[in-house]
Amino acid sequence: MKIKAAFSLAVLLFLSATIFGQAPTKWRGPQANGIYPDKGLLKVWPADGPQVLWTFDGLGQGFSTPVFTRDYIYVSGMSVDTGFIYKLTYAGKLVWRKTYGTEFKKQWPGTRACPVIVGDKLYILSGTGHLCCMSSVDGKPIWSKEIFSDFDGRQITWAVNETVVVDGDKLYCTPGGMKNGVVALNRNTGALIWSCEAMSNKSGYSTPLLIDLPKRKLLVTMMAENIVGIDRETGKMLWNYGWTNQYAVHANTPLYYDKGLFCFSGYGQGCIKFSLSDDGNITKEWANKNMDSKIGGAVLVNGYIYGSGDMANPAWQCVDWKTGEEKYASKEIGKGNVIYADGMLYCYSDKGELALAEANPAGFKVVSKTKVTQGTEYHWAHLAINNGVLYLRHGNTLIAYKIK
């Protein structure tokens, strides 16, 4: 019996390690929704902010967030006009730095996308439209595509801004344009599986959301002028909903919960919620102009949406998931991006304020706050949490804070 039990445990551990190693990393956490599973985190920080465990300087220019595998941290950065992947240990030591191609160096220069790691492969889409698959072990190139020349892609003003999404052996990305609005590629070879016109829109910066429904596997993304729902098995567009703003920027990934779909954009556009049927069709439930987050994302916690506005109401807000009713609006800190873990909101403003606040619809209560002084340029990169450590990328510098 002991031998059988030991064998069963060994098999379970092997399968767990295999599954963990193959699960793709995602933009904004394990479920791509800004929610991190860590527990036992600090409810109040020291007066001068959480302890800095280490910093890594030398990332170059960029606004991308680090992602995590079991043993390593990966993050992208730009030097002069070249994009690099940095592979770091959990002690903040550089393992290697490898180039993946030319990056965007015009207005607001630097890397946009997070790398996506699945087992021994890494995927990154540059601001100039270079899609690269490389080894996550040693950084050697495996295959690449140019979304503008290979797929006749078209994007809006300020470069490509999308973290690709991996689903089994498929990789989804959004070239935009007349023919290939959204494409599914074989992630091992780069071969085209399907293409969807997606209303012949330009790409709008949105990283797609994957939703598994009882009768449909759905891909939802925001193009320059439309929200679209696509059957991700066939590539057929099921529906579209007109949705644009002053600059056609739609940088936030939608949120999904319990057959509810929440989409939101900046420049005064606001947010909208749909209900989804079992086969993926939509019905509008409500809309709200005030929560018009431009690039900061939002989180859904216990029936309430938390995030910050942009032009309509540049305040931190809480909105009822069911009704769209605004519960509060606060300008205690500047607008920015938000994630959630263990009962608390982690807010990083575009003024460099890092704040810990309660996730409570009764009001925006900041319990701890500090100022980010290390790093360079804009405070735009989204926060991330892994194994009790809060990671903040400010331009050239990655900072690891102890929050447990």
pTM of the entire predicted model: 0.94
Supply the pLDDT for residue 91: 98
Q: Are 126 and 78 in contact (CB under 8 A)?
A: no
Tell me the average pLDDT of the chain.
Answer: 94
Nearest to 232 by CA among 213, 221, 216: 216
17-26, 105-114, 175-184, 371-380: least confident range:
17-26
Q: How far is CA 189 from CA 134, 143, 145, 151, 168, in A?
A: 11, 7, 10, 16, 13
Q: What percent of the chain has pLDDT over 70?
A: 95
Alpha-carbon distance of 187 to 193, in angstroms, equals 10
Alpha-carbon distance of 342 to 392, in angstroms, equals 18
Contacts of 159 (CB under 8 A, 6+ apart): 104, 106, 112, 127, 128
Nearest to 252 by CA among 207, 211, 304, 220: 207
Q: What is the pLDDT of residues 40-80, one digit of tens each?
A: 999 999 999 999 999 999 999 999 999 999 999 999 999 99
